[in-house]
Structures are given as structure tokens and as C-alpha cells.
Amino acid sequence: MSCRRSTATARTVRRQRHQAKLRSSTAHQLLGRRPWARARASEAAGCAATRYVAAMREDANDRPLDADLHLSERATVHQRKVVWTGSVGEFGIDDVTLPNGARTSLAVLAHPGAAAVVPFLDAHHVVLLRQFRHAAGGMLWEVPAGKLDGDEDPQRCAIRELEEETGYCAARIEALGPIHTTPGFTDELIHLFAAFDLKPGQVAREADEHIITEVVPLSAALEWIDRGRITDAKSICALLKADRHASRHGVTGPAQR
């Protein structure tokens, strides 16, 4: 008896699947035969997407700037255990209560901050570095950058690092905004800049730096980002923001693509 029931159940399931396939096939055929039906379905999907994007934009416009999580919601640090201190900062374990009330332990590298700069040699060329990075296992394309010296002003740091690493001094430098590099475990904040009206200066590199300076068309640098040739995060952000800044403010004109 159980075998008959099992067979009947299996037949029912197969019949239902077959009917579902027929309905799906019929719907596709109708859309294929009737252009107006296909157009109407596409229009409905487009309207839904448009409404969603509009709602997201309205929400973003209505939200005050201080509503961003990194500005308004903080964890309560109960205790910090310093594990290691070195040239890149202080590594420790924080006992914290998160904004949602959960209590946990988080590893944090306290970093002094840094500055990075995109040097414009002329309207369409920038100065980049090919720098050896042991942690990355080879040479990386980068913009000049370096850590802040204590409470050093980020712009002053950018000017200093530009001359030390490239041998150029900038008559004019403009801020592009800050970025968090790896917020999963460090508070490092890099301040980005664009430098213009370059003049020869004095190279003063550190003993542990292996750097080759190259003049590169901005258009090529942007293409290298798309192709994955430039993988350094701060340099990608700096180059994209510098190109946008130049396009918006007419400082150098948009990159020739």
C-alpha cells in the first residue's frame, strides 16, 4: 500500500513540475510573440528600478552628514591591552561595547595617519612611483605618500613626502579629502592631495625605500587602474579623485582618454 502511495505521490510531483514548465514556457512565448508585452514588462522593471534609485537618493539627501556611522556611532572602550608598538603604530586588543550593545574584543592598529599626493607635472601627466613593498611581494605603482610626524599638518606632510620621494616641490597643493584605508583593523586615515606647478627639489629617501620615479600620462594611470596594474588602494583613490577634481574645477582639464 505504501508503495502505491509513494508512486502516486511521485506522479503528482512530476505532473506539477511539468505544468509549471508549461506555464513558464507559455509566458516566454507570449513575450516573444508579442513585442508590446515584452516592452511593457521591460518598462515595468525600469520603473521599479527608477523608483528604487530615486528613493535611495532622497534618503541620502535628507540624511544629515553626521548621521553617517563613522561620525555618530562609536563603541565604548572599556580596556585596551597593548600587544606591540613599532614604527607603523601601536597594536592592541580593545574590550569594547558596540553601538548595538554587544560586547566583544577587537584587534586595532592605532596609526598616526598619513598623507598621499598626486603630483601633476603638466595638464595631462602625473609623477608616479614604482616602489618595492615586501608585504605585497614586489614592486607596486603608487603616488608619493608617508606617515604624519606626530601632530603634523597633513598638507605639510604631503609637501614633505612629495619632495623626499620624487625630488619635486609644489607651488600649489589642493586637498582631495581623507580615506580610511583598512577600517577592519586600523584607524589609519590618509589625507589625499593634488599638487601643481612642480619645480625641482631635493630627493631624501629613507634607507629602507627602493623607489623608481616615473612620469606617466594621467589617462594611462586611469587605464592601469581598470586593468588591475595599479592595485595600491590609496593610489587608486587619489588618482580617481584627482582626475575628478581637475575635471570639475578646471585646474588641469579632464584626462584625455
The pLDDT value given to residue 254: 43
80-122 pLDDT, tens digit per residue, is 999 999 888 999 999 999 999 999 999 999 999 999 999 999 9
132-144 pLDDT, tens digit per residue, is 999 999 999 999 9
Do residues 187 and 106 lie in contact, with contact meaning Cβ atoms separated by under 8 Å?
no
Answering whether pTM is above 0.85, one says no
CA distance 40 to 36: 6
Q: Is 179 in a helix, a strand, or coil? A: strand
16-68 pLDDT, tens digit per residue, is 666 666 555 555 555 455 555 555 655 665 666 666 656 656 665 665 555 55
Confidence of residue 201 (pLDDT cuts 50, 70, 90): confident
Report, as residue numbers or ranges, the catalytic residues. Answer: 209
Query: Higher-confidence residue: 35 or 198?
Result: 198
| Cα distances (angstroms) measured from residue 168 to each of 104, 110, 128, 161, 164 | 47, 31, 12, 10, 8
Instruction: Give the H/E segment covering residue 35.
Output: helix 35-62
Instruction: Give the H/E segment covering residue 164.
Output: helix 154-166
Work out the number of other CB atoms within 10 angstroms of the CB of residue 120: 22
What residues contact 76, with CB distance under 8 A and at least 6 apart? 96, 97
What residues contact 194, with CB distance under 8 A and at least 6 apart? 117, 118, 120, 173, 174, 176, 241, 242, 245, 246, 251
